[in-house]
A and B are shown apart, each in its own frame.
Chain A
Amino acid sequence: MSEQVWIAGGEVICGIGLNLAHCLDAFEKMQPGMGAMQHLRSAHASTFPVAEVKAGNEELAAMAGMPAHWSRTALLSMIAAKAAWNSTGLGPIAHYRVGLVSANTVGGMDKTEHFMEAFLQDNTTGRLREVVHHECGSITELVADALGVRRHVSTISTACSSGANALMYGARMIRAGMLDAVIAGGTDALTRFTLNGFNTLMILDQQKCRPFDDTRTGLNLGEGAGYVVLVSERLAEQTATWCRLSGFANANDAYHQTASSPEGTGNFIAMQGALNMAGLQPADIGYINLHGTGTQNNDSSEGLAIVRLFDGQYPPVSSTKSFTGHTLGASGGIEAVFSAYALQQGIIYPNAQFTTRMKELPFAPVITFSRGNALRHVMSNSFGFGGNCSSLVFSK
C-alpha cells in the first residue's frame, strides 16, 4: 500500500479501569474485573458474573459531559474517544480532517429495553427519549457531535469483530487521502438483551471465564469502549506515535451463524491476510492478543488456526478478555489499544484464571505480566457471530 497508517494514541474504559493506566495496573496486579452486577438490573444478577465499568450512569455522564439519561453506550464511547484524541497531543480536532468510525452491536438497547416495559403494556406509552437513540449510528453521532467531528461519521456492526473493522475502514480512508485522522474503535454497554441472548446460547460461564484453558465453560460479558487515533504519515511526522497499523484482514468463516468452524477457517484466512498485507511471516509476530472468549468452540477454532498458521513457532499469546470479559462491539477497539500500547511499551499481558493447557493445542497462554519485551510486531484477533473474522497487525 502507498501510505502508512500510524497509531498516534488511544484510550479505553472497561471493567478493569476507567482509563488505560488503571487497566495496566489491573493486569500487573492480576485483578480481573468480573464480579456481581452492580449497575445492570437483571433476573440473572446472582447467576452470571460480568465485567462492569465500575461507575454508575450519573458518574459516567459527568465524566463524558453528557446527560445521564443517554445510553450508557454513548457515555462510555464519549469518555474513551475524547481521551483517545487527547492522548495524541494534536490539539483541536477542528485543525484537521478528522473522522469517527465507531462500532457497537446494540446501539441504545439499554434504554430501549426499559421503554419496552411500558410500550408492551400500552403502545401509546413509554418515553420516546428512551428510543430516540436506539439505532447504532445514533450513538456514534452523539459522540461525534460532542467532539466536533463532522468530516466523516460512520458505524460498523459485525458482532464481536466490529471494533477491529472500524480500524480497517478508518485506515482505508486515510490511505485514500480522504482524512488526516480517524478516531476508530468501538463501544458497548451491558444490556439485558445481550446477557439473555448469550444465556440462550448456553455459553455464559457462572465462574470467571478461563480462555484457552482445558476446563473453560464459557465467556463472561463485559462492557466498555476503546479507540485508537489513526493518523496519516504527514500527521505522524508532527506528533509522537505508538506504532503503525501495518496489516489487517477480514474474512468470513461461512460455517454457521453463531458457531466457529472446528478448524477455524475464517480465523486462519484473517490472520494470514493481515500478515500478507504487513509483508510479514508468522515468526515475525512477537505477541498475539487472542480473541479468546473462553467458549469451548471459539478457543478451539482459534487455537487450531494458530497451530496451522504458526506451525510450531508460537509467539506468546493471551486473552485480555480473562480480565475485561467479552465487551462485544467494543472488544476490537479495546484490544487494539491494548495491543498497540503493548508493542510500544514492550508489554505482554497475562491470561488470568489459567490452570490447564488445552488438549488439542501444543501451546498455552502467558500467565504473568511482563515489561521490557523486544516486540516488533503484535497481532490482535477478533472473531464472531455471522462468521465475521478480523485480524489486525501492529508494527514498530
Chain B
Amino acid sequence: MKAFIQGTGSISAQDSTVFPATIREYEGNRLPVADPDYKQWIDIKQIRRMGRVIKMGVGASHISLQDAGLAMPDAIITGTAYGCLADTGVFLNKLVTQQEDMLTPTAFIQSTHNTVAGQIALMLGCHGYNNTFVHGAFSLENALQDSLLFLQENPARNILAGALDEITEYSHTILSRFGLYKNAHTQQLLRSGTPGTVAGEGAAFFVLGAEKNAQSKAELTGVEMIYRPASVEETAAHISQFLQRHGLQPADVDLLLTGRNGDAHGDAYYENIEGTLFARQPVAAFKHLCGEYPTAAAFGMWMAVQALHTGQVPAAAMFKGNAPAALKRVLIWNHQHTTHHSLILLTAC
C-alpha cells in the first residue's frame, strides 16, 4: 500500500511561491497565513461569502492539481480537526445574542466540516468519492490512509487528499485559556525550553496516484497512527515496527522530521526517542515555520515532498546535525500532547 505524490499545494504562514528561499519570520503567539490572491481560483462574489478555511482549502487544492497536471481527481478526501470555525462562530454568536431569532443560513451552511471537500467537488464538478475526517491530530493521517485503501481497490484512480485548519478570534482566545500558547520569535521557538507553543493554521493538499509518472514528486510509502501509547518505550517500539514493515531500520532514515513545537514537555518526548532510535540521524522540524495546529503535519509533509523532489532540505528546517547530502527517505513523526502520534514515511522517486 503506497502511492506516488503527483502534485502538492500549500497555503500557510510561509509564502509557498518563494519558500524555502525566503522564510517568513514571526513574533507573537500566533502565526497568520500568508494569504495568496484567492481571485485566481475563486469568483470574487463567492470570495466575500467564504470563510477563510474554505478559501485556503480551495486554493491549496487548486495549486496541487495544477502541480500534478490533473484537471479532475477521482476522489476528494480531507481532514480537519476544527472544521469551519469562523462560520460556526458567526452562527453561534447570532444564535446566542439574537436568542434564536432572525438567523440567516449562510454561516450554518458553511459551518459543516465537509464544506471544503464539498466546495472543491462543486467547483470541479467532481462526482467521485468524497470524504472528510475530523479527528484532531489524526485527521490528515486518516485522509491519507483512506486514500491508500481507496487506491488499493482501484489503482487507476487519482486522489486529491489534504488537510486544513483555521484560527479564529474565538478559538484563539479559548485555546489560550487552556495555556497552550506563549509569545516567541519563530527563530527561537524550538530552543525556548519553556511550556507552550505558538498557534498556526493552514491548508496543504496532495494528488496521489498508484503509478509513477513524469509529475511524481515523491512516494508516500506508509502512514501510521499511535493512539495513547502507554509509555515512551511503546512509542519507540511502534516506530521500529513501522519501519520494519517497510523493510527499514532507523538508520535507513535519512532525515527525521519531527513535530517539535517549542513546548518543553512535548519536545522532550522527541528528544528521548531520538536519543535511542535515531542517535545518528539528522533531525529537522517544521512547526516554527507554520505554527502548531492539529493538521500541521500536512505542512511538514508538503515541505518534505519538496525536499525529496529537489534533494534539498531547507536550512531553516534543520534542528540537529547537517542536512543529508543524499536524501532518499524522510520519516515525519508528529505528536500532539504526547497522546496522538503519527508517522508518515516518504521516499524519493
Name B110's contact: one of A119, A154, A159, A257 (CB within 8 Å).
Answer: A257
Which residue of B is nearest A126, CB measured?
B174
Q: Which residues of the partner chain B approach A131 to less than 8 Å between Cβ atoms? A: 174
Question: Do B100 and A44 have beta carbons less than 8 Å apart?
Answer: yes
Q: A388 at interface (Cβ–Cβ under 8 A)?
A: yes
B:175-215 near A, CB below 8 Å? 177-178
A:103-120 near B, CB below 8 Å? 105, 107, 112-113, 116-117, 119-120
Q: A238 at interface (Cβ–Cβ under 8 A)?
A: no
Nearest CB of chain B from residue A329's CB, rounded to whole Å: 10
Question: Do B92 and A193 have beta carbons less than 8 Å apart?
Answer: yes
Question: Do B153 and A1 have beta carbons less than 8 Å apart?
Answer: yes
Known A135-B82, A155-B133, A156-B134; judge A385-B118 contact (CB<8 A): yes
Name A150's contact: one of B100, B129, B146, B227 (CB within 8 Å).
Answer: B227
B:78-112 near A, CB below 8 Å? 81-83, 91-93, 95-97, 99-101, 103-105, 108-112
Known A43-B101, A255-B122, A258-B109; judge A154-B133 contact (CB<8 A): yes
Q: Which residues of the partner chain B approach A175 to less than 8 Å between Cβ atoms? A: 149
Alpha-carbon gap, A113 to B125, bound state (A): 35
Known A150-B227, A250-B129; judge A200-B115 contact (CB<8 A): no
Alpha-carbon gap, A199 to B101, bound state (A): 10
Q: Which residues of the partner chain B approach A119 to less than 8 Å between Cβ atoms? A: 170, 174
Nearest CB of chain B from residue A58's CB, rounded to whole Å: 25
Segment at the A interface, from B16-24, B135-143, B302-310, B324-332: B135-143
Q: B349 at interface (Cβ–Cβ under 8 A)?
A: no
Name B134's contact: one of A117, A150, A155 (CB within 8 Å).
Answer: A155
Q: B272 at interface (Cβ–Cβ under 8 A)?
A: no
Q: A253 at interface (Cβ–Cβ under 8 A)?
A: yes
Question: Do A116 and B100 have beta carbons less than 8 Å apart?
Answer: no
Q: A77 at interface (Cβ–Cβ under 8 A)?
A: no
Q: A266 at interface (Cβ–Cβ under 8 A)?
A: yes
Q: A396 at interface (Cβ–Cβ under 8 A)?
A: no
Q: A256 at interface (Cβ–Cβ under 8 A)?
A: yes
Number of interface residues of A (CB under 8 A): 65
Name A105's contact: one of B95, B113, B124, B173 (CB within 8 Å).
Answer: B113
Nearest CB of chain B from residue A110's CB, rounded to whole Å: 12
Question: Do B132 and A156 have beta carbons less than 8 Å apart?
Answer: yes
Q: B285 at interface (Cβ–Cβ under 8 A)?
A: no
Known A157-B113, A193-B92, A387-B130; judge A201-B105 contact (CB<8 A): yes
Segment at the B interface, from A31-39, A165-173, A220-228, A337-345: A165-173
Segment at the B interface, from A136-144, A206-214, A297-305: A136-144
Q: A67 at interface (Cβ–Cβ under 8 A)?
A: no
| CB < 8 Å A-B pair total | 180
Q: Which residues of the partner chain B approach A254 to less than 8 Å between Cβ atoms? A: 121-122, 124-127
Q: A196 at interface (Cβ–Cβ under 8 A)?
A: yes
Known A120-B97, A176-B1, A252-B118; judge A158-B131 contact (CB<8 A): yes
Q: A90 at interface (Cβ–Cβ under 8 A)?
A: no
Question: Do B92 and A137 have beta carbons less than 8 Å apart?
Answer: no
Alpha-carbon gap, A152 to B145, bound state (A): 12
Question: Do A157 and B91 have beta carbons less than 8 Å apart?
Answer: no
Question: Do A43 and B227 have beta carbons less than 8 Å apart?
Answer: no
Question: Do B146 and A250 have beta carbons less than 8 Å apart?
Answer: no
Alpha-carbon gap, A128 to B176, bound state (A): 11
Q: Which residues of the partner chain A approach B100 to less than 8 Å between Cβ atoms? A: 42-44, 192, 196
Alpha-carbon gap, A201 to B174, bound state (A): 29
Nearest CB of chain A from residue B137's CB, rounded to whole Å: 9
Which residue of B is nearest A131, CB measured?
B174
Alpha-carbon gap, A1 to B272, bound state (A): 43
Question: Do B228 and A116 have beta carbons less than 8 Å apart?
Answer: no
Question: Do B136 and A135 have beta carbons less than 8 Å apart?
Answer: yes
Question: Do B105 and A386 have beta carbons less than 8 Å apart?
Answer: no
Q: A197 at interface (Cβ–Cβ under 8 A)?
A: yes
Q: Which residues of the partner chain A approach B228 to less than 8 Å between Cβ atoms? A: 145, 150
Top-10 shortest CB links A-B? A386-B118, A197-B108, A137-B135, A157-B113, A200-B105, A43-B100, A386-B114, A252-B130, A136-B134, A252-B121
Chain A interface residues (CB < 8 Å from chain B): 1, 42-44, 105, 107, 112-113, 116-117, 119-120, 123-124, 128, 131-132, 135-138, 140-141, 144-145, 150-159, 165, 169, 172-173, 175-176, 192-193, 196-197, 199-201, 249-258, 265-266, 269, 385-388
